[in-house]
Amino acid sequence: MRLIFLGPPGAGKGTQARVLEERFGAKHVSTGDILRANRTAGTPLGREAEGYMARGELVPDTVIIGMIEHELETCAAGFIMDGFPRTLAQAEAFDALLARRGWDLDAAVLFVADRATLIARLSARWTNPRNGRTYNALSNPPRVAGIDDDDGGPLVQRDDDRAETVATRLAEYEAKTEPLVEYYRRRGQLIAVDGLLAVQDVTRALLGALGLEATSS
Protein backbone atom coordinates (compact mmCIF):
# COMPACT_ATOMS: atom_id res chain seq x y z
CA MET A 1 0.00 0.00 0.00
CA ARG A 2 1.48 3.32 -1.11
CA LEU A 3 -0.87 6.25 -0.60
CA ILE A 4 -0.87 10.01 -0.38
CA PHE A 5 -3.55 11.68 1.74
CA LEU A 6 -4.48 15.14 0.47
CA GLY A 7 -6.93 17.58 1.96
CA PRO A 8 -7.22 20.69 4.08
CA PRO A 9 -6.41 20.77 7.79
CA GLY A 10 -9.16 19.02 9.73
CA ALA A 11 -10.45 16.93 6.82
CA GLY A 12 -9.64 13.68 8.68
CA LYS A 13 -6.36 12.58 7.05
CA GLY A 14 -4.61 11.64 10.29
CA THR A 15 -7.65 9.81 11.66
CA GLN A 16 -7.97 7.62 8.56
CA ALA A 17 -4.21 7.11 8.19
CA ARG A 18 -4.15 5.57 11.67
CA VAL A 19 -6.95 3.17 10.77
CA LEU A 20 -5.18 2.01 7.60
CA GLU A 21 -1.81 1.71 9.34
CA GLU A 22 -3.34 -0.55 11.96
CA ARG A 23 -5.20 -2.66 9.43
CA PHE A 24 -2.66 -2.96 6.62
CA GLY A 25 0.71 -2.35 8.26
CA ALA A 26 1.73 0.45 5.89
CA LYS A 27 3.60 3.18 7.75
CA HIS A 28 1.66 6.32 8.66
CA VAL A 29 4.01 9.19 7.85
CA SER A 30 2.73 12.52 9.19
CA THR A 31 5.09 15.36 8.35
CA GLY A 32 3.26 17.50 10.94
CA ASP A 33 3.89 14.91 13.69
CA ILE A 34 7.57 14.58 12.72
CA LEU A 35 8.01 18.36 12.77
CA ARG A 36 6.27 18.69 16.13
CA ALA A 37 8.44 15.93 17.64
CA ASN A 38 11.54 17.75 16.39
CA ARG A 39 10.25 21.04 17.78
CA THR A 40 9.69 19.46 21.20
CA ALA A 41 13.14 17.87 21.16
CA GLY A 42 14.71 21.18 20.12
CA THR A 43 16.57 19.70 17.14
CA PRO A 44 17.97 22.01 14.41
CA LEU A 45 15.11 20.82 12.15
CA GLY A 46 12.56 21.67 14.84
CA ARG A 47 14.08 25.11 15.41
CA GLU A 48 14.07 25.85 11.70
CA ALA A 49 10.41 24.82 11.33
CA GLU A 50 8.82 26.28 14.46
CA GLY A 51 8.30 29.86 13.26
CA TYR A 52 6.55 28.74 10.09
CA MET A 53 4.37 26.32 12.03
CA ALA A 54 3.39 28.91 14.63
CA ARG A 55 2.29 31.28 11.86
CA GLY A 56 0.40 28.53 10.03
CA GLU A 57 2.69 28.79 6.99
CA LEU A 58 4.26 25.91 5.12
CA VAL A 59 7.80 24.92 6.10
CA PRO A 60 10.26 25.34 3.17
CA ASP A 61 10.26 22.54 0.61
CA THR A 62 13.95 21.67 1.00
CA VAL A 63 13.46 20.94 4.72
CA ILE A 64 10.44 18.73 4.07
CA ILE A 65 11.93 16.85 1.13
CA GLY A 66 15.06 16.01 3.12
CA MET A 67 12.85 14.71 5.92
CA ILE A 68 10.83 12.49 3.59
CA GLU A 69 13.92 11.10 1.89
CA HIS A 70 15.08 9.93 5.31
CA GLU A 71 11.62 8.64 6.24
CA LEU A 72 11.30 6.51 3.08
CA GLU A 73 14.11 4.31 4.41
CA THR A 74 11.54 2.94 6.88
CA CYS A 75 8.71 2.46 4.36
CA ALA A 76 9.55 -0.88 2.72
CA ALA A 77 6.18 -2.27 3.92
CA GLY A 78 4.30 0.62 2.33
CA PHE A 79 3.30 4.12 3.41
CA ILE A 80 0.43 6.49 3.94
CA MET A 81 1.70 10.05 3.48
CA ASP A 82 -0.43 12.29 5.68
CA GLY A 83 0.07 15.96 4.85
CA PHE A 84 2.79 15.41 2.27
CA PRO A 85 3.27 16.51 -0.48
CA ARG A 86 1.82 19.97 0.03
CA THR A 87 3.38 21.86 -2.90
CA LEU A 88 4.12 21.09 -6.52
CA ALA A 89 7.86 21.10 -5.77
CA GLN A 90 7.31 18.48 -3.04
CA ALA A 91 5.19 16.34 -5.38
CA GLU A 92 7.83 16.41 -8.10
CA ALA A 93 10.63 15.62 -5.67
CA PHE A 94 8.54 12.75 -4.29
CA ASP A 95 8.01 11.35 -7.79
CA ALA A 96 11.78 11.30 -8.24
CA LEU A 97 12.36 9.60 -4.86
CA LEU A 98 9.79 6.91 -5.68
CA ALA A 99 11.15 6.39 -9.19
CA ARG A 100 14.63 5.89 -7.77
CA ARG A 101 13.25 3.01 -5.69
CA GLY A 102 11.03 1.66 -8.47
CA TRP A 103 7.97 2.24 -6.29
CA ASP A 104 4.56 3.12 -7.80
CA LEU A 105 1.93 5.15 -6.04
CA ASP A 106 -1.44 3.38 -5.58
CA ALA A 107 -3.44 6.60 -5.28
CA ALA A 108 -3.69 10.13 -3.96
CA VAL A 109 -6.78 10.34 -1.77
CA LEU A 110 -8.49 13.71 -1.43
CA PHE A 111 -10.62 14.18 1.70
CA VAL A 112 -13.34 16.70 0.90
CA ALA A 113 -14.90 18.90 3.59
CA ASP A 114 -16.33 22.40 3.71
CA ARG A 115 -14.67 25.29 5.48
CA ALA A 116 -17.21 25.61 8.31
CA THR A 117 -16.78 21.93 9.20
CA LEU A 118 -12.99 22.20 9.12
CA ILE A 119 -12.99 25.19 11.47
CA ALA A 120 -15.45 23.52 13.83
CA ARG A 121 -13.40 20.30 13.90
CA LEU A 122 -10.06 22.00 14.49
CA SER A 123 -11.37 24.13 17.34
CA ALA A 124 -12.57 20.92 19.05
CA ARG A 125 -9.49 18.82 18.22
CA TRP A 126 -7.49 17.39 21.14
CA THR A 127 -4.15 15.81 20.32
CA ASN A 128 -1.88 13.35 22.11
CA PRO A 129 1.49 15.10 21.63
CA ARG A 130 3.35 11.82 22.27
CA ASN A 131 1.96 9.96 19.24
CA GLY A 132 -0.19 12.40 17.26
CA ARG A 133 -3.48 10.59 17.94
CA THR A 134 -6.41 12.97 17.84
CA TYR A 135 -9.78 13.14 19.52
CA ASN A 136 -12.64 15.55 19.05
CA ALA A 137 -14.52 17.14 21.93
CA LEU A 138 -17.73 16.98 19.89
CA SER A 139 -17.59 13.94 17.61
CA ASN A 140 -15.08 11.62 19.29
CA PRO A 141 -14.33 12.61 22.88
CA PRO A 142 -11.87 10.69 25.06
CA ARG A 143 -13.38 8.72 27.96
CA VAL A 144 -12.01 11.31 30.42
CA ALA A 145 -11.76 14.91 29.17
CA GLY A 146 -8.17 15.92 28.43
CA ILE A 147 -6.75 12.39 28.93
CA ASP A 148 -5.73 9.86 26.27
CA ASP A 149 -7.74 6.61 26.49
CA ASP A 150 -4.70 4.44 25.83
CA ASP A 151 -1.64 5.94 27.49
CA GLY A 152 -3.46 7.90 30.23
CA GLY A 153 -1.34 11.00 29.52
CA PRO A 154 -2.57 14.54 28.88
CA LEU A 155 -4.11 15.69 25.60
CA VAL A 156 -3.38 19.19 24.29
CA GLN A 157 -5.00 21.67 21.96
CA ARG A 158 -2.49 22.59 19.27
CA ASP A 159 -1.58 26.29 19.22
CA ASP A 160 -2.05 26.37 15.46
CA ASP A 161 -5.64 25.09 15.81
CA ARG A 162 -6.65 28.57 17.07
CA ALA A 163 -8.98 30.41 14.68
CA GLU A 164 -6.46 33.08 13.51
CA THR A 165 -3.84 30.49 12.59
CA VAL A 166 -6.40 28.16 11.02
CA ALA A 167 -7.32 30.97 8.60
CA THR A 168 -3.68 31.19 7.44
CA ARG A 169 -3.40 27.40 7.14
CA LEU A 170 -6.54 27.23 4.99
CA ALA A 171 -5.20 30.03 2.77
CA GLU A 172 -1.87 28.19 2.42
CA TYR A 173 -3.78 25.04 1.49
CA GLU A 174 -5.81 26.81 -1.19
CA ALA A 175 -2.83 28.61 -2.70
CA LYS A 176 -0.15 25.90 -2.57
CA THR A 177 -1.67 22.47 -2.00
CA GLU A 178 -4.95 22.54 -3.92
CA PRO A 179 -3.11 22.54 -7.29
CA LEU A 180 -1.95 19.01 -6.44
CA VAL A 181 -5.51 17.77 -6.84
CA GLU A 182 -5.25 18.49 -10.57
CA TYR A 183 -1.69 17.12 -10.68
CA TYR A 184 -2.83 13.68 -9.48
CA ARG A 185 -6.16 13.79 -11.29
CA ARG A 186 -4.39 14.29 -14.63
CA ARG A 187 -2.37 11.16 -13.96
CA GLY A 188 -5.49 9.15 -13.13
CA GLN A 189 -4.34 8.66 -9.55
CA LEU A 190 -6.86 10.81 -7.69
CA ILE A 191 -9.59 9.37 -5.49
CA ALA A 192 -11.99 11.74 -3.75
CA VAL A 193 -13.70 10.72 -0.52
CA ASP A 194 -16.48 12.56 1.32
CA GLY A 195 -14.81 13.65 4.56
CA LEU A 196 -18.11 14.75 6.09
CA LEU A 197 -19.27 11.19 6.73
CA ALA A 198 -18.82 9.58 10.14
CA VAL A 199 -15.30 8.22 10.72
CA GLN A 200 -16.24 4.59 10.03
CA ASP A 201 -18.18 5.52 6.90
CA VAL A 202 -15.21 7.49 5.56
CA THR A 203 -13.07 4.38 6.11
CA ARG A 204 -15.61 2.25 4.28
CA ALA A 205 -15.80 4.66 1.33
CA LEU A 206 -12.02 4.87 1.19
CA LEU A 207 -11.51 1.11 1.18
CA GLY A 208 -14.23 0.72 -1.43
CA ALA A 209 -12.61 3.32 -3.68
CA LEU A 210 -9.23 1.60 -3.29
CA GLY A 211 -10.76 -1.74 -4.21
CA LEU A 212 -9.94 -3.17 -0.79
CA GLU A 213 -12.48 -5.18 1.11
CA ALA A 214 -14.27 -3.08 3.71
CA THR A 215 -14.27 -5.58 6.54
CA SER A 216 -15.13 -4.87 10.18
CA SER A 217 -14.27 -1.43 11.52
Count CB-CB contacts under 10 A for residue 14.
22
Helices 199-209, 13-24: inter-axial angle, 10-degree rounding: 60
Strand partners, 82: 5, 30
Question: Of 193, 165, 140, 198, nearest to 53 (Cα)?
Answer: 165
**Min dist. Cβ of residue 185 to ligand ADP (A):** 19
84 vs 103, which CB is nearer to ligand ADP? 84
Those residues with Cβ within 8 angstroms of residue 44's Cβ, 6 or more apart along the chain or in another chain: none
Residues between 74 and 103 that touch ligand ADP (CB under 6 A): 83-84, 86, 90
32 vs 72, which CB is nearer to ligand ADP? 32
DSSP strand pairing (107-112 vs 79-82) = unpaired
Number of residues that bind ligand ADP (CB under 6 A): 35
- Residue in 18, 36, 121, 125 annotated catalytic: 125
Q: Is 176 a catalytic residue?
A: no
Instruction: List residues near ligand ADP by CB under 6 A.
Output: 7, 9-15, 31-32, 35, 52-53, 56-59, 64, 83-84, 86, 90, 121, 125, 134-136, 139-140, 160, 169, 197-199, 202
Residues that are catalytic? 13, 86, 125, 158, 169
